[in-house]
Amino acid sequence: MAFVDEVKFYVKGGDGGNGCVSFRREKYVPKGGPNGGDGGDGGSVYLQADARKTSLIDFRYASHFKAERGHNGSGSDKHGRGGKDYIVKVPLGSVVKDAETGETLADLTEPDALFLAAKGGRGGLGNSRFATSTNRAPRKATPGKPGVERWLRIELKLLADIGLVGLPNAGKSTLLSKLSAANPKVAAYPFTTLEPQLGVLHFKYGESCIIADIPGLIEGAHEGVGLGHRFLKHIERTSVLLHIIDCSTEDEQPLDDFRVLEKELDAYNKELLGRRYVILLNKIDLVDRERLHEVQDMFSRQGLKTVAISAETGQGIDQLKEMLAELFEETGEKGQ
């Protein structure tokens, strides 16, 4: 699977160069003097957010990143060159954590944001630094300091404004293709979506919104059933959730499906239940008017408002776009 959203990797700043012990040997300066230069500082390792990256797949092929060490000092007061920094590009939404303690160190949500992952070591001092009035010929120099080294972990949380949640085969991928130019895999069997998909919803007026579609949830996902909760982190930053419910099922199954989604969201992160949401009754092209009203009443009796659509035929999609545009316009809120 090409999508990778969790990685563990090693970073090390370059060691500092050593200071030099050297003395001048000049024709008309009989006693000379110390002229050993300082070592150069080691390079540092930085993580930089790159809006063009959407996965951590590159870390599968390279997981150790080391900056260049500083060069040693030399005679004639020549300081060693500093080591080059190493910049590792990561996707927007990368949460950087210490691999051992789990402490969150950075959340890279802005394009080109930099995080110092491993600082390079300071260069050592040459013997010219130690000359004094009583010690004019010091034979002392210091070695460079080692660069910082540690293991880090990145957990990628995609940046999106709208999150699509639903049971497998509820029609999320089809809806994503109708709301945006995304072209996700669509088929008449469960779990066609095996990794998060992104699309851009363009409004007639105002800024566009990013939509995230995650693999379908099933009852027991919090216990690892199906694909589990692994991808729910990709809707944590959204400000609006669209609950996609298949209204073509029998009896009270549509309402039961909604309760399953609520239960699984609550088990993962209780804050998601407080997020603004819209319940979409999908597949209205497969039911008659009487059954649709029956399902709508079923939700209404629970105090739940619904919007009826058919992602397959496009019925109600334009109205849904207008409703979402008004929702964002009223609040001026995009993303968490």
- CA-CA distance, 90 to 106, in Å (whole number)? 12
Q: Domain locations in the chain?
A: 6-156, 162-331
Amino acid at 41: D
Say what the pLDDT of residue 301 is.
96
Report which of 258, 288, 290, 254 is spatially closest to residue 273, judged by C-alpha positions. Answer: 258
pLDDT at 259: 95
**Mean pLDDT calculated for residue range 152-156:** 94
What percent of the chain stands above pLDDT 90? 59
pLDDT digits (tens, 9 = 90+) for 240-259: 999 999 999 999 999 999 99
Query: How large is the average pLDDT for residues 114-123?
Result: 98
The H-assigned helical ranges of 275-335 are 289-300, 317-331
Q: CATH second-level architecture of 6-156?
A: Distorted Sandwich (2.70)
Mean pLDDT, rounded, of the chain: 87
Average pLDDT over residues 82-107: 95
Q: Is the pLDDT of residue 57 over 90?
A: no
pLDDT at 334: 55
Supply the pTM of this predicted model.
0.77
Q: What residues contact 112, with CB distance under 8 A and at least 6 apart?
A: 48, 49, 50
**pLDDT band with cut points at 50, 70 and 90 for residue 328:** confident
pLDDT of amino acid 24: 87
Mean pLDDT value across residues 203-207: 77
Residue 325 pLDDT more than 70?
yes
Nearest to 55 by CA among 100, 123, 2, 14: 2
The per-residue pLDDT for range 250-292, each reduced to its tens digit, is: 999 999 999 999 998 898 888 888 889 999 999 999 999 999 9
pLDDT in tens, 167-181: 988 888 899 989 987
CATH 1.10.1370.30 for the 162-331 domain, yes or no? no
Contact 12, 54 (CB under 8 A): no
Give the strand order in the sheet containing 104-108. 64-66, 6-12, 149-156, 94-98, 104-108
pLDDT tens per residue, range 124-135:
999 999 999 888
pLDDT (0 to 100) of residue 112: 95
Alpha helix ranges (H) inside the chain: 172-179, 253-268, 289-300, 317-331
